[in-house]
């Protein structure tokens, strides 16, 4: 899990100790919004909704950029 409260994307280098058997792709679930003060409401029930994507080039050492104003959950699998 990673949280980026900033207004700019946050590049990160991830080094997973003991992660020599990590699969080459991962699943990302991201919640993000234009403003940290945004909320869902009865009028806009999906204003903030998770997006799903596949992250490639994953391994024991890889780089990933976390979007601004976001919560990201990366689900890694083993080979």
- Where does the pLDDT of residue 20 fall: very low under 50, low under 70, confident under 90, or very high at 90 and above? confident
Q: What is the rounded average pLDDT for all residues in the chain?
A: 94
Measured CA to CA, the distance from residue 51 to residue 30 in angstroms comes to: 5
pLDDT for position 19: 65
- Where does the pLDDT of residue 78 fall: very low under 50, low under 70, confident under 90, or very high at 90 and above? confident
pLDDT for position 48: 95
Predicted confidence (pLDDT) per residue in 33-65, tens digit: 999 999 999 999 999 999 999 999 999 899 999
């Amino acid at each position: 899990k990673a949280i980026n409260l900033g207004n700019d994307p946050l590049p990160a280098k991830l080094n997973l100790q003991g992660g020599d058997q990590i699969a080459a792709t991962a699943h990302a679930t991201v919640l993000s919004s234009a403003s940290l003060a945004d909320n869902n409401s009865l009028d806009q029930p999906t204003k903030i909704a998770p997006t799903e994507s596949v992250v490639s080039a994953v391994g024991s050492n890889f780089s990933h950029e976390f979007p601004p104003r976001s919560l990201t959950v990366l689900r890694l699998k083993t080979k």
